[in-house]
Amino acid sequence: MLTRRQMLQASAVLALPSLATAQEKPAGFTLPKLPYAYDALEPHIDAETMTIHHTKHHQAYVTNLNGLLEKNAPEMLKKPIEEVLANLKNIPEMVRGGVRNNGGGHWNHTFFWNVMAKAGGTPKGDLLKAIDDSFGSLDKFKVAFNTAAVGRFGSGWAWLVPGKDKPLTVTSTPNQDNPQMAGGAAPILGVDVWEHAYYLKYRNLRAKYLEAFFNVVNWDAVAENFAKSKKS
C-alpha cells in the first residue's frame, strides 16, 4: 500500500517529459533575441552599432553556418553549437575553416550579448575575491584585460577565463576563435574587438570603446558564469 507521499512522488516522476523530447533541438541555428533593447547600452555602445552588429553581423554568421552545414555535415545542424565547435575535425576539410569562423562567431556573439546590461553594476562576493586574488584589484584586472584587448592585432576577442595557477586569467584569440576552441576552459567574460563592434562611434579608438565597455558589463552574468565554471 503506497502512502500519500509516495503516491505524490510517483506521479511527479511520471509527469516529467522524456529526456529525448526535452533535449531535441530543431535542425539549424537561429539568431537569439538580444536580452535588452538596441538602445539599452547607450551612450556607451550606440543603438546603430548594436542593431547592425546583431541583425547583420551575427545574423550572417548564423546564415553562413547553416548553409555550410546543410550542404556538408547536415547531422551537425541538430547539435548544440558547442558540440559543433568541439568536433571541427569531423567537418569536411574544404569547409572546416568556414564552420570554425561562422560557428565561433555565433557562439561568441551569443555569449557577448549576455555579458552586457544597461546597469552593469560591480563584481561582488566570490567573483570579486577571485579578481583581487588573481590581479591585485579590480582596476588592475581592467588594465590587464584592456591590454590584451588593445594588443590583439587585427580582429578578435579578449577573454576572462578560469586559470590554472590563479583563479582567473586574461587571454585573447584571433578572428572568431574562443578559448574552448583551443582546448581551454569556457570564458566568464569576453569583449569583441572587431572594428564592427565600435567603429561607428569610436572610429579607430579601440581603447575608448573598451573604457566604455566596462560601464555595461553585466557582472551578475559574469558571476553566474564563474559559479558554473567551478562546478564543471
- 202 near Fe ion, rule: CB under 5 A: no
Q: Which stretch binds Fe ion (CB under 5 A): 77-85, 88-96, 194-202, 205-213?
A: 194-202
Of 144 and 192, nearer to Fe ion (C-beta) is 192
Minimal distance, residue 176 CB to Fe ion, in Å: 8
> Cα(168)–Cα(157) distance, rounded to whole angstroms?
17
Of 135 and 157, nearer to Fe ion (C-beta) is 157
Minimal distance, residue 53 CB to Fe ion, in Å: 6
Torsion, CA 98, CA 95, CA 107, CA 151, rounded to 10: -40
Of 130 and 206, nearer to Fe ion (C-beta) is 206
> Cα(10)–Cα(28) distance, rounded to whole angstroms?
37
Minimal distance, residue 228 CB to Fe ion, in Å: 23
- 192 near Fe ion, rule: CB under 5 A: yes
Q: How many residues bind Fe ion (CB under 5 A)?
A: 3
Q: Which stretch binds Fe ion (CB under 5 A): 78-86, 96-104, 124-132, 196-204?
A: 196-204
Interface residue with Fe ion, options 194, 198, 213, 219 (CB under 5 A): 194
- 177 near Fe ion, rule: CB under 5 A: no
Say whether 222 sits in a helix, a strand or coil.
Answer: helix
Q: Which stretch binds Fe ion (CB under 5 A): 116-124, 128-136, 167-175, 184-192?
A: 184-192
Specify whether the CB–CB gap between 221 and 114 falls below 8 A.
yes
Specify whether the CB–CB gap between 152 and 197 falls below 8 A.
no
Helices 125-135 and 138-151, interaxial angle, to 10°? 70
Cβ-count burial 64-90 (b if 16+ within 10 Å, e if not): bbbebbeeebeebbebebeebbeeeee
Q: Which residues bind Fe ion (CB under 5 A)?
A: 192, 194, 197
